[in-house]
A = this chain, B = another copy of it.
Amino acid sequence: MQLNVLSERYATPEINEIFSEIGKNKAERELWVAVMEVQRELGLNIPEEDITAYKSAVNDIDLELIKKIEKTTKHDVKAKIEAFIQAASKKASKQVGQHVHKGMTSRDLTDNVEQMQYRNAANIILGRGVSVLRHMLDNSQSYAEYILTARTHNQPAQPTLLGKRFSMWAEEMLEHLESFEDFIGKYPLRGMKGAVGTQFDQMVLFDGNIRKVEALERKVAEKLGFKNILSSTGQVYPRSLDYAMVNNLAQISSAPANFAQTMKIMAGFGLVNEGFEEGQTGSSAMPYKMNTRSCERIRGFANLIKMYADGASRLSGEQWQEGDVECSVQRRIIMPDSFYTVDGLFETTLTVLKNMHAYEGEIVQELNKFLPFMATTELLQMAVKKGVGREDAHKTIKRCALAESNRMKEEGSSVNNLPQLLASDPLFAGVGITFEDIQKNLQDKLHFVGNAYDQIKYVSDKAAPLLDRYKEAANYEPRQIL
């Protein structure tokens, strides 16, 4: 029997706690207590002191005891109930009554408890995502002054700001976090629906008083923090809710995946490294290597969560009549593992966002190498303003730029002579455009980045309300990762 690798190596204690045996048992007891409380309110004969005893025993989980009882009962729910009764009796120092699980079917327990787990885990993950967003915004500020060669098709295109790249990822993050927040807020509980969804079982308990059954369900949901309840289900809630959950997890992973992708490429150019602890090296045999191992891991996680979304798609729209357990083994794997995955992904992303380093020298050097090419749009205009025909100017620039680009690569040269080439070309020289004129344009580097600086601010402004709603979560800092 192996450990779950995602849980063991990558997930944080908070998420692990939720999906642990202990965590699950606690959630079950919380549900049972809520049900007893409301059943009492609605007139069932359940003594308050018993409920108090149960409530005080919610966290006293004795897994060994449960296993022991199960060996006798051969029924896991019965064993859990018995263990809960024993724990409550111990707290109360007297035998409490058998009021647990009244009128409930097994799915009244499992489906609702799983939804509690998912909702709780989702809230934590949302918070972590907000922290990722905050770190991205922080970096967008820190690197707001770094003029960088923007690349499309991995080729130099126009200057931008390194900080703007972070605002780009931050905004993508924001988009999906807001949707996720909505999704969690509306996430509807299955409720007390009984064996086939008709609430027949609780109705029998309440002697046919269906209004009480409805009140039970409503009040239990409230106690558990759910605003919405499904009105009509089968034995189970529609598994498309699981699909939507995992889709959300996959969607909030896209911005970190984009970030990590570009980090990998930038590190290859020597523009950044992802941060190294004191004494850490890429490999013992090649100590100079600053591998982006964490960024690679982020991307591995991003692929995994998409895989689990694929898995969750196979749960959705596959229900036979009122339900069966075809989904059971899939959900057992897919749901916790999805949360572990994104948990690990965010933890790693936070670490890189926090520790990364940018090499200004290399960034400047790259910009200088390519700026003359990237300035050709304006050089064209310069010529046109001096009376050169647009097509003629374009042809000349194209010819010179291609020739120089080729020369540089063929010779392995970093020196870009395009300004000289143009200045000495009859067409440019003919209208009096000099090498100095061209250099002047190139020297004002900042104007090339357009609106990038303000865009950084706009994204921060957009994100502010969300950061404000989750202040504490936004301040989360990553633990030590593997």
In the assembled complex, A6 has its CB within 8 A of some CB on chain B? yes
**Complex: A284 Cα to B359 Cα, angstroms:** 32
| A254 CB, nearest partner CB in chain B, Å | 3
Q: Are B450 and A203 in contact (CB under 8 A)?
A: yes
Q: Are A282 and B168 in contact (CB under 8 A)?
A: no
Take A153-B291, A412-B366 as given contacts and tell me if A231 and B448 are in contact as well, using a CB distance cutoff of 8 Å. no
Q: Which residue of B lies closest to A294 (CB)?
A: B325
Take A314-B306, A359-B410 as given contacts and tell me if A232 and B456 are in contact as well, using a CB distance cutoff of 8 Å. yes
Q: Which residue of B lies closest to A78 (CB)?
A: B284
Q: Are A238 and B251 in contact (CB under 8 A)?
A: no
Q: Are A232 and B196 in contact (CB under 8 A)?
A: no
| A165 CB, nearest partner CB in chain B, Å | 8
- Which residues of A3-39 are within 8 A (CB) of B? 3-8, 10, 16, 19-21
**Stretch from A60-68, A122-130, A208-216, A430-438 contacting the other chain:** A208-216
Q: Which residue of B lies closest to A260 (CB)?
A: B317
- Chain B residues near A156: list those with CB within 8 A: 289
Q: Name 13 A/B residue pairs within 8 A (Cβ), A-sorted.
A: A153-B291, A154-B321, A155-B291, A195-B286, A210-B454, A243-B254, A261-B318, A281-B398, A285-B377, A300-B330, A304-B311, A361-B410, A362-B412
- Chain B residues near A472: list those with CB within 8 A: none
- Please, what's the 1-or-0 string for A269-291, where 1 marks a CB less than 8 Å from any CB in chain B? 11100000000011111111111
In the assembled complex, A467 has its CB within 8 A of some CB on chain B? no
Q: Are B244 and A179 in contact (CB under 8 A)?
A: yes
- Chain B residues near A48: list those with CB within 8 A: none
Take A155-B282, A377-B285, A451-B210 as given contacts and tell me if A314 and B323 are in contact as well, using a CB distance cutoff of 8 Å. no
In the assembled complex, A167 has its CB within 8 A of some CB on chain B? yes
Q: Are B376 and A288 in contact (CB under 8 A)?
A: yes
Q: Are A164 and B198 in contact (CB under 8 A)?
A: yes
Take A199-B451, A232-B458, A359-B412 as given contacts and tell me if A244 and B376 are in contact as well, using a CB distance cutoff of 8 Å. no
- Which residues of A205-253 are within 8 A (CB) of B? 208, 210, 213-214, 230-235, 238-241, 243-244, 247, 250-251, 253
In the assembled complex, A292 has its CB within 8 A of some CB on chain B? yes
In the assembled complex, A171 has its CB within 8 A of some CB on chain B? yes
- Chain B residues near A250: list those with CB within 8 A: 243, 247, 313, 316
Q: Are A330 and B317 in contact (CB under 8 A)?
A: no
**Stretch from A51-59, A83-91, A400-408 contacting the other chain:** A400-408
**Complex: A244 Cα to B330 Cα, angstroms:** 22
Q: Are A325 and B293 in contact (CB under 8 A)?
A: yes
Q: Are A19 and B4 in contact (CB under 8 A)?
A: no
In the assembled complex, A455 has its CB within 8 A of some CB on chain B? yes
Q: Are A328 and B297 in contact (CB under 8 A)?
A: yes
In the assembled complex, A268 has its CB within 8 A of some CB on chain B? yes
Q: Which of A16, A20, A261, A320 has the most CB of B within 10 A?
A: A320
- Chain B residues near A105: list those with CB within 8 A: 285
The listed residue (B154, B157, B243, B377) touching A292 by CB distance below 8 A is B154
In the assembled complex, A257 has its CB within 8 A of some CB on chain B? yes
In the assembled complex, A452 has its CB within 8 A of some CB on chain B? yes
- Which residues of A291-342 are within 8 A (CB) of B? 291-293, 296-297, 299-304, 306-311, 313-330, 332-334, 336-337
